[in-house]
């Protein structure tokens, strides 16, 4: 079996005006659907970041992918590692900024792991289809049958995403108060059955965000783990103040995620919380984005739970390696997300299913997208009591609905932008003078 053709489908997916410390989400999120068509007539699929950067990176490996044996993934990774060294040298010499400042999918330092992941997952999907086995079985099999996800809440303005005639219904309305946060959580929990909750913070004054977490605790009780993630918007002092103020609310499986920028700062927050008798773990997908960061997380004690992501850590096999490394180092593991559709959701589910250390409910932006944009046959992937059950179907377990893919491509073609820029969106729609300031509080 050889790969005859690599097909790339850049698509646009309607997205609501969600807020974070990065700024505001644009009316459409950009994604790319990847296909590897084999000489046996089997097509493997994957989903990854969108826009010119990610599509260009995939185009640049077309010559290496076409003609490749999809089983030879180690060789493909070695090829990318060679490129990675050049990219890292370049990024350092041009002063490219770290993940603290860049939205995921736009970090030049992980272009090789992102590209590897997109090709690896599509190859594994093709192999799974060829062998008639689920993707997770190709890397040793699952350690859990159903993967729990959490209700991932966002502050947002009114609007459901999309534009003009293509505007989506605003399912959740404006969310800028503790009452609205609780309302959105109740809606998501009722609809998907989630049993864990994460609030994207870094938007309102920290006291207002603490009130929202307290209101969630009051509504859902201690059996629902709670997390808050301000994406580095707070200083060390503010992070400590929030950690102390939410000691009870973030206990029982909760965590404080990327409260401030940098591993040193996180380490200091950890030391000060421990000194005060507070053992709330610090989680991260900003300070820790690659394997080289893991030992530093351990040495500084800045991060106790690493949020992995098969899309930019290198794929499903890289996730498994991370799980092993976390076990050796005594770290916990959870999963990060960005706006995505069903192909990514199934990738995340298979990846989580093969990682014994991934014991926290994974993040997912899936509730923020709608049926209208879904590209998998049969419509949106179903959740069962907050979990995605690993299907006993070949590969990822989902197929592409090509009419839906074509609609997504059409939306993409009409868009004037080719990269995520939340700061610009804030300036266009909320405040012309808005700048991302870290720490803001």
Under the criterion CB under 6 A, does residue 105 sit at the interface with ligand GKR? Answer: no
Among 35, 110, 229, 309, binds Mg ion (CB under 5 A): 229
Q: Contact, 30 vs 418, CB < 8 A?
A: yes
> What residues contact residue 408 under an 8 Å CB cut-off, 6+ apart?
9, 11, 12, 13, 31, 33, 373, 375
Chain-centroid distance, C-alpha 388: 16
The structure tokens listed for 228 are 């808050």
The rounded distance, in Å, linking the Cα atoms of 6 and 409 is 16
Give all strands (DSSP E) within 220-320, no chain letters. 226-229, 255-257, 282-284, 305-308
> What residues contact residue 170 under an 8 Å CB cut-off, 6+ apart?
16, 158, 159, 160
Min dist CB 232 to ligand GKR, Å, is 9
3-state secondary structure of 68: coil
**Residues in 261-300 that interact with Mg ion by CB under 5 A:** 285
Min dist CB 72 to ligand GKR, Å, is 31
The rounded distance, in Å, linking the Cα atoms of 440 and 234 is 6
**Residues in 350-379 that interact with ligand GKR by CB under 6 A:** 363
Among 125, 196, 209, 229, binds ligand GKR (CB under 6 A): 229
Min dist CB 23 to ligand GKR, Å, is 8
Cβ-based nearer residue to ligand GKR, 69 or 106: 106
Q: Which residue has the tokens 């044996």?
A: 69
Select the span of 15-23, 73-81, 156-164, 346-354 touching ligand GKR (CB under 6 A): 15-23
Select the span of 156-164, 243-251, 254-262, 383-391 touching Mg ion (CB under 5 A): 254-262
Select the span of 1-9, 122-130, 210-218, 333-341 touching ligand GKR (CB under 6 A): 333-341
Among 31, 129, 168, 200, binds ligand GKR (CB under 6 A): 200
Under the criterion CB under 6 A, does residue 114 sit at the interface with ligand GKR? Answer: no
Q: Verify whether residue 336 is a known catalytic residue.
A: yes
Give the other-Cβ count within 10 Å of 158's Cβ.
12
Closest CA to 41 of 151, 129, 173, 135: 129
Strand-pair category, 43-49 with 28-38: antiparallel
- Kindly list the distances between the CA atom of residue 235 and the CA atoms of 73, 241, 279, 284, in Å, as whole numbers in the listed order: 42, 10, 19, 16
- Nearest residue to ligand GKR, using CB? 20
Select the span of 35-43, 100-108, 221-229, 386-394 touching Mg ion (CB under 5 A): 221-229
The rounded distance, in Å, linking the Cα atoms of 190 and 211 is 22
The structure tokens listed for 389 are 């059950």
Among 285, 334, 344, 404, binds ligand GKR (CB under 6 A): 285
Min dist CB 340 to ligand GKR, Å, is 10
DSSP letters spanning 173-204: --B-SHHHHHHHHHHHHHHH----EEEE-SSS
Under the criterion CB under 6 A, does residue 334 sit at the interface with ligand GKR? Answer: no
Select the span of 81-89, 120-128, 188-196, 336-344 touching ligand GKR (CB under 6 A): 336-344
Min dist CB 30 to ligand GKR, Å, is 13
Min dist CB 257 to ligand GKR, Å, is 6
# chain residues binding Mg ion, by CB under 5 A: 3
Cβ-based nearer residue to ligand GKR, 22 or 383: 22
Min dist CB 175 to ligand GKR, Å, is 13
Site string for ligand GKR, 161-180 (x = CB under 6 A): --------------------
Closest CA to 222 of 240, 195, 245, 243: 195
Rg (CA), the chain: 21
Cβ-based nearer residue to ligand GKR, 285 or 323: 285
Q: Verify whether residue 200 is a known catalytic residue.
A: yes
Under the criterion CB under 6 A, does residue 103 sit at the interface with ligand GKR? Answer: yes
Sheet containing strand 226-229, strands side by side: 151-154, 197-200, 226-229, 255-257, 282-284, 305-308, 332-335
Q: Among residues 9, 142, 156, 200, which one is catalytic?
A: 200
Cβ-based nearer residue to Mg ion, 308 or 347: 308
Q: Among residues 336, 340, 350, 365, which one is catalytic?
A: 336
Using CB under 6 A, list all residues that contact ligand GKR: 18, 20, 22, 103-104, 200, 229, 231, 285, 336-338, 363
Give catalytic residues, as residue numbers: 200, 336
Residues that bind Mg ion (CB under 5 A): 229, 257, 285
């Amino acid at each position: 079996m050889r790969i005859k053709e690599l097909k790339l489908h850049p698509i646009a997916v309607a997205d609501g005006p969600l807020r974070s410390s990065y700024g505001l989400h644009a009316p459409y999120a950009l994604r790319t659907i990847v296909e590897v068509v084999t000489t046996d007539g089997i097509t493997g699929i994957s989903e990854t970041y969108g826009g010119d950067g990610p599509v260009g990176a995939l185009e640049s490996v077309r010559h290496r992918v076409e003609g490749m044996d999809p089983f030879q993934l180690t060789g493909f990774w070695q090829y990318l590692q060679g490129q990675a060294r050049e990219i890292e040298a370049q990024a350092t010499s041009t002063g490219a900024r770290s993940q603290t400042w860049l939205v995921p999918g736009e970090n030049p330092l992980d272009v090789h792991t992102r590209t590897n992941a997109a090709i690896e997952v599509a190859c594994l999907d093709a192999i799974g289809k060829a062998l008639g086995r689920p993707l997770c079985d190709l890397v040793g099999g699952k350690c859990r049958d159903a993967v729990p996800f959490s209700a991932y809440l966002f502050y947002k303005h009114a609007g459901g995403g999309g534009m003009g005639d293509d505007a989506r219904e605003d399912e959740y309305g404006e969310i800028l108060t503790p009452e609205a946060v609780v309302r959105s959580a109740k809606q998501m929990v009722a609809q998907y059955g989630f049993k864990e909750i994460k609030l994207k913070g870094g938007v309102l004054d920290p006291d207002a965000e603490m009130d929202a977490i307290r209101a969630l605790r009051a509504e859902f009780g201690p059996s629902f783990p709670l997390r808050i993630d301000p994406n580095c918007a707070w200083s060390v002092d503010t992070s400590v103040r929030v950690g102390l103020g939410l000691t009870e609310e973030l206990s029982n499986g909760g965590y404080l995620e990327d409260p401030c920028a940098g591993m040193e700062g996180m380490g200091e927050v950890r030391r000060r919380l421990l000194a005060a008798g507070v053992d709330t773990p610090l989680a991260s997908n900003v300070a820790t984005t690659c394997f080289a960061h893991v030992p530093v997380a351990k040495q500084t004690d800045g991060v106790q739970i690493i949020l992995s992501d098969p899309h930019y850590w290198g794929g499903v096999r890289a996730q498994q390696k991370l799980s092993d490394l976390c076990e050796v180092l005594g770290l916990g593991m959870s999963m990060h997300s960005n706006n995505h559709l069903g192909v990514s959701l199934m990738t995340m589910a298979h990846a989580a299913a093969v990682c014994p250390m991934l014991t926290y409910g994974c993040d997912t932006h899936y509730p923020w997208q709608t049926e209208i944009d879904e590209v998998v046959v049969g419509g949106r992937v179903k959740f069962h009591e907050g979990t995605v059950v690993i299907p006993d179907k070949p590969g990822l377990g989902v197929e592409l609905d090509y009419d839906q893919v074509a609609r997504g491509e059409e939306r993409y073609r009409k868009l004037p932008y080719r990269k995520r820029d939340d700061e610009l969106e804030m300036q266009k729609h909320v405040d012309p003078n808005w700048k991302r300031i870290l720490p803001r509080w």
